[in-house]
Amino acid sequence: MNSIRGGAVGHALECQDLTKRFGGLEAVKQVNLQVEAGERRAIIGPNGAGKTTLFSLISGLYPVTSGRIRTFGQDITHLPGHRRTYLGLGRTFQITNLFPTLTVLENLVIAAMGLKRMKFSMLRPLSTYRDLYERADEVLKEVGMAEKRDEVVRNLSYGEQRQVEVSLALISNPRVLLLDEPTAGLSPADTAMMTEMIHQLDSRITLLLIEHNMDVALQAASRITVLHQGIVFEEGNPKQIRNSSRVQEIYFGSEE
């Protein structure tokens, strides 16, 4: 459902003067962001820059203090989180956020069920809804985790858990996908695998990526937004950001 604004459909994701205050602390200050459909945008910045807070504002886990958020022209600023998922928003978490006592398959089945009406069905066993299980198996095959399907998530390696984290977000066919530090804590081998997975994502999906690993960010993204102390510090293509002395300073500069 897209609203027409001035003839155009609207950006895939747009933040307008977005601000979030926690008590006395302004974690996100007047952030303006415009991401186009199909774009690969990386959000980078030193610790405490407000990146994860920004994601939590966009996905609806925190209420905004002021400003607006729009997706494909539709204002979602005050929509509860689960309604934003209906509009095509998907998200992974920096700290792995799975269902620890359930198996990989069960995790995915619950994810697949998220937008369906049958989630309120109370008498028929879940196991009879074969289409959910087929979809789950499909996604598992896509990300290469099919053999782990019956493993309890708690028992998986960290890298495998991160993969499940991404597949949970993918299963609902998001239009805008927010990946929060997907390679955090991964070994070089797993990082390469994750980078490849990101690369393989459907090009129609709009991707926002928080990354601490500069190489991954610069490689995966077509455009980069640098956050520092809650504001948009700089924005540009990978080459510009790589060569920017201002950006280097906030990472390695004397003020740190």
> Of the two residues 73 and 81, which places its CB atom closer to other proteins in the complex?
81
Query: What span, in angstroms and rounded, lies between the C-alpha atoms of 51 and 224?
Result: 13
CB 251, min distance to other proteins, A: 25
List beta partners, residue 69.
Answer: 15
Q: Is 152 helix (H, G, I), strand (E, B) or coil?
A: strand
Nearer to other proteins, 96 or 219 (CB): 96
Report in angstroms how near the CB of residue 101 gets to other proteins at its nearest: 6
Min. distance of Cβ 239 from other proteins in angstroms? Answer: 33
Whichever of 179 and 247 has its CB closer to other proteins, that residue is 179
Tokens for 133? 């299980």
Q: Which is nearer to other proteins, 125 or 188 (CB)?
A: 125
Which tokens in the block code for residue 181?
A: 């530090």
CA distance 42 to 224: 5
Contact 175, 202 (CB under 8 A): no
Question: Closer CB to other proteins, residue 59 or residue 225?
Answer: 59
Quote the tokens at residue 233: 């510090």
Least Å distance, CB 221 to other proteins, is 22
Q: Which residues of 25-38 are buried (b: 16+ CB within 10 A; e: fewer)?
A: ebbbbebebbbebe
- Closest distance to other proteins from the beta carbon of 123 (Å): 5
Q: How far is the CB of 67 from other proteins (least distance, A)?
A: 20
Quick count: other Cβ atoms within 10 Å of Cβ 139? Answer: 21
Rg from Cα positions in the chain: 19
CB closer to other proteins, 169 vs 226: 169
Residues that bind other proteins (CB under 8 A): 59-61, 80-82, 85-86, 89-91, 93, 97-102, 106, 109-111, 113-115, 118-127, 129, 168-169, 172
Residue where the block lists tokens 């945008």:
41
Q: Which amino acid is at 196?
A: E
Stated as kind and residue range, the H or E segment containing 83 is: helix 81-86
